[in-house]
């Protein structure tokens, strides 16, 4: 096995893009990062490839393992064709040990995540814990029986009157962060450049969802949030169904999204819309 640490995002893109595309939906996160870095249009914060960890493990047959980490975020991995090789994992761990990179956690499909975590923890003499169990869903057609309540529209400047509170609520629900709305409105103004959709019911904003990480045939849905006061009325279903329809109408073959398996409500909602599970993944933190 050969470990290759890559410092050039364009070279890494060339080496890994076609391999990652073999499971385009599954590799939504690493593919999105590779594409973003290769385009080089946004280098703010964690998006600057100069600070990324990019590596591959290969043998005479080609790439066996692809790894990318955009600090401070977790390491993401893909075993080529989902064939997990313990020797490739060991080679990667040895390669990381020869760098200054710190690995806060790993997020990938269940078996690979656990395999890497056990080997990494043993090599480093540390422990790990499962932080989140997730399921990846994909959709090729929206259930026609889902009623559309209200109307969708793109985010507008006027939404800054409530959007920071929604973003903090979303972060609290998903990541356990303590809600704390920043006084500087520019903290949230980046949302104006995103494909973030607001669902309105009779002129009142009630839910939101975002298109993100557009690939060749797949586009993701994320940032789904309904304020507590408006929950239980079908708004989230309408919002996600509406955004999913827009994605398909734009020519994408599939919509994909992640859910937290600890939230049975969202998993049930998405399946009723037409989403079907394709794999489970783990987010593991090292301690």
Give CA–CA dist 205/199, Å, rounded: 6
Per-residue model confidence as pLDDT tens digits over 53-103: 999 999 999 999 999 999 999 999 999 999 999 999 999 999 999 999 999
Convert the chain into a string of H (helix), E (strand) and C (coil): CEEEEECCHHHHHHHHHHHHHHHCCCCHHHHHHHHHHHHCCCCCHHHCHHHCEEEEEEECCEEEEEEEECCCCCEEEEEHHHCCCHHHHHHHHHHHHCCCCCCCEEEEEHHHHHHHHHHHHHHHCCCEEEEEEEEEEEECCCCCCCCCCCEEEECCHHHHHCHHHHHHHHHHHHHCCCCCCCCCHHHCHHHHHCEEEEEEECCEEEEEEEEECCCCCEEEEEEEECCHHHCCCCHHHHHHHHHHHHHHHCCCCEEEEEEECCCHHHHHHHHHHCCEEEEEEEEEEEC
First and final CA of the chain: distance in angstroms? 28
**Residue 185, pLDDT score:** 67
Over the chain, what is the mean pLDDT?
93
Range 151-280: architecture per CATH: 3-Layer(aba) Sandwich (3.40)
Greater confidence, 188 or 267? 267
Is 263 a residue whose pLDDT tops 90? no
Categorize the per-residue pLDDT at 281 as very low, low, confident or very high, splitting at 50, 70 and 90.
very high
**Residue 181, pLDDT score:** 76
Residues 166-192, mean pLDDT to the nearest whole number? 78
Give CA–CA dist 95/54, Å, rounded: 11
Domain boundaries, the chain: 2-126, 151-280
Question: What are the CB-based long-range contacts (under 8 Å, 24+) for 40-43?
Answer: 40/9
């Amino acid at each position: 096995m050969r470990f290759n640490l890559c410092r050039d995002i364009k070279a890494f893109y060339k080496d890994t893009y076609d391999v990652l595309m073999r499971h385009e939906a599954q590799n939504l996160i690493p593919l999105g990062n590779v594409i973003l870095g290769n385009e080089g249009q946004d280098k703010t914060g964690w998006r600057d490839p100069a600070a990324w960890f990019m590596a591959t493990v290969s043998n005479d047959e080609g790439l066996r393992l692809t790894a990318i980490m955009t600090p401070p975020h977790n390491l993401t991995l893909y075993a080529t064709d989902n064939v997990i090789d313990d020797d490739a994992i060991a080679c990667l761990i040895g390669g990381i040990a020869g760098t200054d990179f710190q690995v806060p956690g790993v997020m990938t499909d269940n078996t690979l995540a656990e395999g890497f975590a056990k080997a990494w923890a043993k090599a480093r003499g540390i422990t790990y814990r499962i932080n989140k169990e997730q399921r990846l869903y994909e959709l090729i057609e929206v259930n026609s029986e889902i009623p559309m309540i209200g109307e969708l529209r793109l985010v507008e400047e006027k939404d800054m009157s409530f959007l920071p509170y929604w973003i903090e609520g979303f972060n609290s629900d998903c990541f356990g962060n303590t809600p704390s709305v920043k006084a500087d409105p520019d903290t949230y103004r980046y949302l104006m450049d995103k494909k973030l959709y607001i669902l309105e019911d009779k002129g009142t904003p009630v839910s939101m969802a975002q298109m993100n990480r557009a690939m060749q045939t797949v586009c993701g849905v994320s940032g789904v949030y309904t304020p507590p006061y408006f929950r239980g009325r079908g708004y989230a279903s309408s919002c996600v169904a509406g955004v999913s329809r827009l994605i398909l109408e734009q020519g994408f073959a599939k919509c994909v999204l992640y859910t937290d398996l600890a939230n049975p409500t969202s998993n049930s909602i998405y399946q009723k819309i037409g989403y079907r599970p394709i794999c489970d993944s783990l987010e593991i933190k090292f301690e």
